[in-house]
Amino acid sequence: MPKAFRNPPNDQNDRSAPPGAERRSGLRRVLPILLPAVILLGWWLVTSSGAVPALLLPGPGAVAKRFLSLLDSGELLTHAAVSMSRVFAGFLLSASAALGLALLLYRRPLWESALSLVLEALRVIPPLSLVPLLILWLGIDEAPKLAIVVLASFFPIYLSALTALRSVSSKYRELAQMLGLTESARVQEILLPGAAPGILTGLRLGFGYAWRALVGAELIAAASGLGYLIEDASSLARTDVVMVGILTIAGLGILCDQLFRRGAEGWTKSCLNRRRKSGGGQTALETAPPSAADPERSLWGIAFEGLVVSYPGLTQPPVNHLTLSIAPGSVTAVLGRSGCGKTTLLKAAAGLLLPQAGTVRFTSPNASGRTHPKVAMVFQEPLLLPWKTVRENAALALSARTGEALSEACKSSAVTQALTLAGIADLAERFPAELSGGQQQRAGLARALSAEPDVLLMDEPFGALDALTRLELQDETRALFNRQRMTVLMITHDVREAVRMADRAVVLRGGSAAADHSLLMPFPRRFSDPAVGAAEEGLLAELLHH
């Protein structure tokens, strides 16, 4: 069995609650009702002093008495039920249309551009200004009121959903491509869970807009509902009834928002708990570790021939007529100044960027009929999905392997082995937010290893770590490469990292290979070794050469 990484120390130890935490928690519960209590007291003082006539501002007692009277007669409940049915019907129509359009347009900017003028015009027109036209076109029944609700709530939902979907799609696009996820898997595993907070915020905002617009429409054209109750009472100078209607609207709005928020939180927690109890939360299988890397496993090399890769708007391509061969089973580090094309080269090898000229070929002397290796990538940022556990993040690399008849037991065994190799088997059921930076990077490495790659691409994976964690991971990762049969192409700015880990270091300059250094010292490498120090000095001299 390959020797596993040492388990990292757990820096997430339980800490006792800081002093005053309970006091602050109690204060947070009291603060929301403090201002309403002050307003109520001021209202009572003003009205009881007689400074304002009761016709203009009835006192809290008179309003409470009228509220109970209307409640007892059933009139208030009838009007409230009518308004609630209207707002929910319109909100459901609006949410369905807005979310559907956002899902349709988030990857189609040209379609959005074609619709932009019409949508923007509708967004800036106050919905209530359309009441006369809507009555003329749709009559005086329920249709114009529903239309007002839809128009008022559509754009907060649509814009929030569109922004959230695009943000998640952009952040995790390359991860999804490297994992080979289908479109449906991207939506299910990444897009909707990642965009859920933004979508839920839009839904909450949209419901508030829907509620306000409906009451406004009922004030203008309705024979029932809370808006009608207020308008009718106003025409009869029944200010206490007007106040009852206003406060009922406020109370129902707050209640609906709280129910909506708690329902969303409850749904999220139930999903997380279900994950912990099912796929993500199961106890890791006791599996016999592999005794050694498979000696018959195919080793793949990489051949870059006359490669040109650029981005729109650039006059000088970052990778310009580069020719480079990576030997099968070797660890090659690519160094160079910022902008020299290192990451562009790596993305071209991963298939994330298409070359304008030249080719990227994978070659193997013993491929056994296979035409392409399994390629995995360790990103500079771990790109762990925060709504998935460490185990689920690692298992995501296996979800695209539909061509292989992998049973759930085999998948679980592969994930467990990868987590063990990365030294985080005991953190399998934690979420990324519960991990340190080094542990998150290990989880990203475990996700790549679970796919059992033939070629591993690494984009400065240790650059953001502290010095001690970085040194530890460099040595342990190199030890893993010595045991596992794979070809590694890594990008780094750190000369010492290249010397500690690589068999070969290639320096890029002007988009092509300017120098090629063979690093054939034994492992582990220490900089007290004159040969290691000389290799570092040689690489530094090459990098500083203009």
469-483 average pLDDT score? 87
Same domain, 328 and 472: yes
**What is the pLDDT, as a whole number, of residue 504?**
95
192-213 average pLDDT score? 91
Termini Cα distance of the chain: 47
**What is the pLDDT, as a whole number, of residue 405?**
52
Please give the single-letter amino acid code of residue 391.
R
Lowest average pLDDT, out of 208-217, 251-260, 367-376, goes to 367-376
CATH number of the domain bearing residue 123: 1.10.3720.10
Same domain, 183 and 221: yes
Same domain, 266 and 371: no
Using the predicted structure, report yes or no on whether residue 221 has a pLDDT greater than 80.
no
**What is the pLDDT, as a whole number, of residue 388?**
92
Using the predicted structure, report yes or no on whether residue 453 has a pLDDT greater than 50.
yes
Q: Classify residue 27: in a domain, yes or no.
A: no
pLDDT tier at 511, thresholds 50, 70, 90: confident
**What is the pLDDT, as a whole number, of residue 278?**
43
Lowest average pLDDT, out of 2-11, 14-23, 56-65, goes to 2-11
Directed axis angle between helix 143-179 and helix 131-138, to 10°?
100
Question: Where in 17-155 does DSSP place strands (E)?
Answer: none
Q: Classify residue 22: in a domain, yes or no.
A: no
Lowest average pLDDT, out of 293-307, 339-353, 450-464, goes to 293-307
Task: For 540, list phi and psi in degrees, rounded to 5.
Answer: -60, -45
Same domain, 266 and 361: no
Same domain, 357 and 264: no
193-219 average pLDDT score? 90
- The pLDDT tens digits of the residues spanning 157-166 come to 999 999 999 9
pLDDT tier at 5, thresholds 50, 70, 90: low
Lowest average pLDDT, out of 5-19, 315-329, 442-456, goes to 5-19
Using the predicted structure, report yes or no on whether residue 25 has a pLDDT greater than 80.
no
Using the predicted structure, report yes or no on whether residue 216 has a pLDDT greater than 60.
yes
**What is the pLDDT, as a whole number, of residue 31?**
81
Q: Please tell me the distance from the alpha carbon of residue 98 to that of residue 91, in angstroms, as a whole number.
A: 10
Using the predicted structure, report yes or no on whether residue 349 has a pLDDT greater than 90.
yes
Using the predicted structure, report yes or no on whether residue 402 has a pLDDT greater than 60.
no
Q: Please tell me the distance from the alpha carbon of residue 301 to that of residue 221, in angstroms, as a whole number.
A: 74
**What is the pLDDT, as a whole number, of residue 468?**
84
Measured in residues, the chain has a length of 546
DSSP string, 177-206: HHHT--HHHHIIIIIHHHHHHHHHHHHHHH
**What is the pLDDT, as a whole number, of residue 111?**
93
pLDDT tier at 288, thresholds 50, 70, 90: very low
**Cis upstream peptide for 197 (omega within 30°):** no
Q: Classify residue 292: in a domain, yes or no.
A: no
Q: Classify residue 17: in a domain, yes or no.
A: no
- Closest Cα partner for 433 from 382, 467, 469, 494? 382
Q: How far is CA 407 from CA 410, 412, 413, 495, 540, in A?
A: 5, 9, 10, 43, 49
Same domain, 170 and 68: yes
Same domain, 269 and 360: no
Q: Classify residue 13: in a domain, yes or no.
A: no
**What is the pLDDT, as a whole number, of residue 163?**
95
Type and span of the H or E element at 438 = helix 437-450
Query: Which of 9-18, 58-67, 255-264: highest mean pLDDT?
Result: 58-67
Same domain, 271 and 370: no
Residue that terminates a domain, selected from 276, 291, 309: 276
- The pLDDT tens digits of the residues spanning 120-156 come to 999 999 888 888 888 889 888 888 899 999 999 999 9
Using the predicted structure, report yes or no on whether residue 283 has a pLDDT greater than 70.
no
- The pLDDT tens digits of the residues spanning 412-431 come to 888 998 998 888 999 999 99
Q: Classify residue 232: in a domain, yes or no.
A: yes
Query: Biggest alpha carbon distance in the chain?
Result: 98
Question: Domain range for residue 133?
Answer: 47-276
Q: Classify residue 7: in a domain, yes or no.
A: no
Total number of domains in the chain? 2
pLDDT tier at 385, thresholds 50, 70, 90: very high
Neighbouring CB atoms inside 10 A of 240's CB total 21
- The residue with greater pLDDT, 149 or 221, is 149
Q: What is the mean pLDDT of the chain?
A: 85
Using the predicted structure, report yes or no on whether residue 281 has a pLDDT greater than 50.
no
Same domain, 230 and 350: no
Residue 262 CA to chain centroid, in angstroms?
Answer: 21
**What is the pLDDT, as a whole number, of residue 3?**
46
**What is the pLDDT, as a whole number, of residue 18?**
55
236-252 average pLDDT score? 92
Using the predicted structure, report yes or no on whether residue 99 has a pLDDT greater than 90.
yes
**What is the pLDDT, as a whole number, of residue 298?**
77
Per the CB < 8 A criterion, the answer to whether 287 and 416 are in contact is yes
Q: Classify residue 240: in a domain, yes or no.
A: yes
143-177 b/e with 16+ CB inside 10 Å = b?
A: ebbbbbbbbbbbbbbbbbbbbbbbebbeebebbbe
Q: Please tell me the distance from the alpha carbon of residue 334 to that of residue 328, in angstroms, as a whole number.
A: 16
**What is the pLDDT, as a whole number, of residue 448?**
92
CATH number of the domain bearing residue 398: 3.40.50.300
Same domain, 343 and 260: no
188-206 average pLDDT score? 90
Residue that terminates a domain, selected from 261, 276, 291: 276
Using the predicted structure, report yes or no on whether residue 299 has a pLDDT greater than 60.
yes
- The pLDDT tens digits of the residues spanning 260-275 come to 788 776 666 555 555 5
- The residue with greater pLDDT, 206 or 33, is 206
Same domain, 220 and 97: yes
How many CA atoms lie within 13 Å of 363's alpha carbon, on the beta-carbon side?
Answer: 14
Provide the whole-model pTM.
0.76
Residue that terminates a domain, selected from 243, 276, 309: 276
Same domain, 269 and 307: no
